[in-house]
Amino acid sequence: MQVADGAMCSGSVLRPGAQPCLGHQCGPVRHSVPMTDVFEHTPQVWNAAQLRDALKDLPDDAPIHIGVADDPGDFEGYRDFVLVGAHQVENWWPATSTAPERIETAEALTLFADWEAGAYDRLD
């Protein structure tokens, strides 16, 4: 079946270089998802000492980049982001009829990353 831009589509299966098939262009989309293997992802989470050690020889003004895996444990095609902030982790519990609201600061840090500086298409 041919879609508006000339790409060929057969249900939800695309040939290399084809555009995604939208139901209103090709009729009903059939999803035949193959069964996949499931695996336990258990990354070795770094602690503050490991991060300090990795940073010890960097100059104070060195930017920090963060590579985010495309899939669990797959850094071959990672996306590169820049570190833009860090906040102490806070756990919050709402007030109940028997206990007041409470906030506890955890001994953990959340690092925030953003896209690198540059010009990007605005998405609506």
pLDDT at 122 > cutoff 70: yes
- Which residues form the domain of 89? 48-115
- Exposed e or buried b for every residue in 69-94, given b needs 16+ CB within 10 A? eeeeeeeeeeeebeeeeeeeeeeeee
- Residue 41's closest CA among 13, 73, 9, 75? 73
| CA separation, residue 62 to residues 25, 57, 80, 116, 122 (Å) | 50, 10, 16, 14, 29
For position 105, what pLDDT does the model report? Answer: 81
> Do 82 and 55 sit in the same domain of this protein?
yes
Q: Which sign does the torsion angle of CA 14, 19, 25, 29 carry?
A: positive
- pTM, to two decimals: 0.52
pLDDT tens for each residue of 42-78:
888 889 999 999 999 999 999 999 999 888 888 888 8
pLDDT at 31: 53
Same domain flag for 56 and 6: no
Q: Are residues 55 and 110 in the same domain?
A: yes
Q: What is the pLDDT of residue 74?
A: 87
Q: How confident is the model at residue 96 (pLDDT cuts 50, 70, 90)?
A: very high
SS3 state of residue 10:
strand
For residue 90, give the amino acid letter.
E
17 phi, psi to nearest 5 deg: 85, -5
pLDDT confidence band for 103 (50 / 70 / 90): confident
pLDDT at 80 exceeding the cut of 50: yes
Q: Mean pLDDT over all residues of the chain?
A: 76
Question: For residue 124, is it within any domain?
Answer: no
What is the domain count for the chain? 2
